[in-house]
Amino acid sequence: MKKFIFYIILIVIIVSFMEFGSWSIIQVHQLIKQPKNTEIKNEISVTHTIDGRSVESFNEYQAFYGWSKKDITSKNINVKNKLRKTKKNHKWDLKSKIWFFGGSTMWGHEVSDENTIPSLSSELNHNFQPVNFGENGYNSGQSLNRLIENIDNINEGDHIIFFDGVNDATMNCQSVHGPNGHGEVNQIRRLISFEKKIFKGLPVKGLEKFKNTHTFTFLNAIGKRIGLQDQKKVDDFKHYSCNQNKYAYNVSKNLVRHWKIAEIIIKNKKANFTCILQPNPYTANFKVNQPVRKVWKQATLDIYPKIRKLAKSLDCFKDLTNVFNEDYYIDSCCHVTSEGNKIISKKIIDILFKT
């Protein structure tokens, strides 16, 4: 028995050293690869966590659209009643609003409250108050559900923005979520399946936990260097289905259908609706300095052309995939610096008020 306990302790110590060593190497590598621009580095560092917790750790289950943020109070990130804090427009007429819906780019991933797209929009020349209904990971279907929940608060003449594309493509191209799902569908299904059988799926869950460790990241990187298959890429494409034309069409059709439903609802309120196809690093016509996530690039190539084609029938449609002339991206997904958000916010206001 003593020998068994000794071996268990020894294994724990070895694994801990491996994880710490891998973490240290990755941290050094990321430090080297981080943006050289000090302003960008500082912007990311102050908004990456809240009291040591990730932004996603504040998510809680919410009926009809999956999850939303709990209230957050901090220096740079504040959320109250499921809304990110937005700068007040001092020209506001106390009635008219711009309602911004979208995923993490709209919510303001890696930027402070003052540098989100809605906040930056409040500084431009109009008398509408922006409201940030963005949320990390949301796609067009979740935004539509959130719009329906808040439809009674929309007044005649208000502007409603849907800023979509990335999450619909990257998440729904994975068949485990379905062509009309969201990023947590597979996780929720598995939790329901496992809840009555505590040991069911433990090996799979254990392997997935290991793949989230720094040790796995380090070993996978070494494997790629010596010519082994990239296990991250294998996992990324394991359930990828948008290489099938019919599946890709359904993903695109669902997004455009959500926009169409929102357009009908909002027109009935005598308000104004704009649906925007958002930019990401894989729509850029210039060199992007961030690493490529191949599955996300492929999803963009498979889905975006179909969205453009299907959305031509909508009055609301605007394509902002080429809004940038230079690189403002801070990761391989779609998130941009505050300067990038400033360009997007100005373009949106120009569209709304034709300035």
Distance CA 98, CA 110 (A): 22
Residue of 259, 276, 263, 266 whose CA lies nearest to 350: 276
Return the pLDDT at 22: 47
Task: Please give the C-alpha separations between residue 13 and each of 8, 10, 25, 215, 304, in angstroms, as whole numbers.
Answer: 9, 5, 18, 14, 48
* Lookup: tokens for 315: 């009055």
pLDDT in tens, 98-113: 999 999 999 999 999 9
Residue of 110, 128, 127, 131 whose CA lies nearest to 119: 131
Residue of 68, 62, 60, 54 whose CA lies nearest to 101: 68
CA 342 to chain centre: 18
Return the pLDDT at 187: 87
Return the pLDDT at 23: 46
Structural domains of the chain, with CATH: 70-173+240-353 (3.40.50.1110)
Return the pLDDT at 43: 57
Distance CA 122, CA 341 (A): 12
* Lookup: tokens for 8: 């268990």
Entry pTM: 0.84
Residue of 102, 349, 129, 155 whose CA lies nearest to 268: 155
Low-confidence residues of the chain: pLDDT under 70: 1-48, 194-234, 355
Residue of 117, 14, 98, 11 whose CA lies nearest to 334: 117
Return the pLDDT at 199: 53
Tell me the β-bridge partners of 61: 67
Q: What are the b/e assignments for 292-318, b being 16+ CB within 10 Å?
A: ebbbbbbbbebbbebbeebbeeeebbb
